[in-house]
Amino acid sequence: MFLVTGGAGFIGSNVVAALNDAGHSDVAVCDVLGQDGKWRNLAKRQLADVVPPAELGDWLKGRRLTAVIHLGAISETTATDGDLVIETNFRLSMRLLDWCTANATPFIYASSAATYGDGERGFDDDASVEALKRLRPMNLYGWSKNLFDLAVAERVAKGERLPPQWAGLKFFNVFGPNEYHKGPMMSVLARRFDDIKAGRVVQLFKSHREGIADGDQRRDFIYVDDVVRVMMWLIATPRVSGLFNVGTGKARSFRDLIVSAYGALGLEPNIQYVDLPEQIRGSYQYFTQSAVDRLGRAGYNGGFTRLEDAVGAYVTGFLDRADRYR
């Protein structure tokens, strides 16, 4: 049996779909379904169990699992409840790490590119304690993720016991099907698609930095299928452990992203540029781009989907259909 925490969420439900497609029906999901329609992310899936997070400790007692894929977290970068974030993102992760160590179970977990903060220190997935200590996340979510990365790195440095395989994945700007419950945390493509399709104007931010054009602020956008492919490769390659960036390694602009969506629909772009709000102007990131060398050196050669192709697949396969779910 596989356990996927956060399995009803965006990336988690896509992992569950991939496991089902690979012939694994014995998949347990640990998540809170709530009342925002998250269950639809799993409506086409075969599951062995759906476990509330509060019951996970008891549920794990006496079990043998093929792997734990730990994606459950409070992922809002605007979260402010420090106690809740630490309990959910750090302490639960520690308990799962200890369980996987004691039970010799592979452990794949979500870190985040939010650990890099404003990017001034670069985006190198150096897993040493010294490198991780130098990072300065800008929000509570990023700090909680870096705290756990540090805890794992400390055990590695001291030669302490760990699961037979452990892998932390620093996801960059992931977009794709089943992100619709995330509200303001959805990708800008998902948030603006209905406007694009209806011909309404789509607003992007002006640049307030010399030498950068309006809408040319750049992110490492990665399609969720590529993210899942990396995780499925790790499951199939138990000799590989480590902390890895999961991005394309190629930054693209928000304008590129939106223009690609218009192109997928055969429409002319209708974009308006508006000022960045004053309150975020000083902290707004103009550039993120993952270094993916370590993942390649570990043996991953699955490649990454070109932005235009990824947007086309998302738009025609999901966003522009009556049923948008995978």
Q: Is the pLDDT assigned to residue 20 strictly greater than 80?
A: yes
Does this model's pTM top 0.85? My answer is yes
Q: What residues form the annotated binding site?
A: 10-11, 31-32, 38, 71-75, 145, 173-174, 182, 184, 205-208, 219, 284
**pLDDT tier for residue 79 given thresholds of 50, 70 and 90:** confident
**pLDDT tier for residue 98 given thresholds of 50, 70 and 90:** very high
User: What topology does CATH give the domain 2-176+221-250+290-305?
Assistant: Rossmann fold (3.40.50)
**What distances in angstroms separate CA 288 from CA 1, 18, 86, 182, 217, one per listed residue?**
36, 28, 26, 22, 9
pLDDT for 134-162, tens place per residue?
Answer: 999 989 999 999 999 999 999 999 999 99
Catalytic one among 109, 116, 141, 314?
141
Look at 117-121, 172-176, 266-270, 296-300 and tell me which has the smallest mean pLDDT.
117-121
Predicted pLDDT of residue 69: 98
Structure tokens at 253: 């602009």
pLDDT for 226-248, tens place per residue?
Answer: 999 999 999 999 999 999 999 99
Dihedral of CA 127/129/134/139: which sign?
A: positive
CB 141 within 8 A of CB 112: yes
Eight-state DSSP code of residue 287 = B
Catalytic one among 182, 197, 250, 325?
182
**pLDDT tier for residue 75 given thresholds of 50, 70 and 90:** confident
Give the integer Cα–Cα distance in Å for 135 and 126. Answer: 11
Q: Which residue has the tokens 């476990």?
A: 51
Predicted pLDDT of residue 80: 87
Predicted pLDDT of residue 154: 98
Q: What percent of the chain has pLDDT over 70?
A: 100
CB 19 within 8 A of CB 48: no
Mean of the per-residue pLDDT values of the chain:
95
Look at 21-30, 117-126, 281-290 and tell me which has the smallest mean pLDDT.
281-290
Q: What residues form the annotated binding site for substrate?
A: 173, 184, 205-208, 219, 284
Residue 250 is a catalytic residue: no
Mean pLDDT of 10-29: 98
Which of 282, 235, 264 minimizes the C-alpha distance to 68? Answer: 235
Q: Which residues contact 197 (CB under 8 A, 6 or more apart)?
A: 265, 320
Q: Is the pLDDT assigned to residue 308 strictly greater than 80?
A: yes
Give the integer Cα–Cα distance in Å for 139 and 141. Answer: 6
Q: Where are the domains of the chain?
A: 2-176+221-250+290-305
**pLDDT tier for residue 281 given thresholds of 50, 70 and 90:** confident
CB 29 within 8 A of CB 1: no
Half-sphere exposure of 141 (CA within 13 A, CB side): 15
Mean pLDDT of 85-102: 96
Mean pLDDT of 251-256: 97
Residue 141 is a catalytic residue: yes
**pLDDT tier for residue 216 given thresholds of 50, 70 and 90:** very high
Q: Which residue has the tokens 């429409």?
A: 267
Predicted pLDDT of residue 152: 98
Give the integer Cα–Cα distance in Å for 295 and 155. Answer: 21
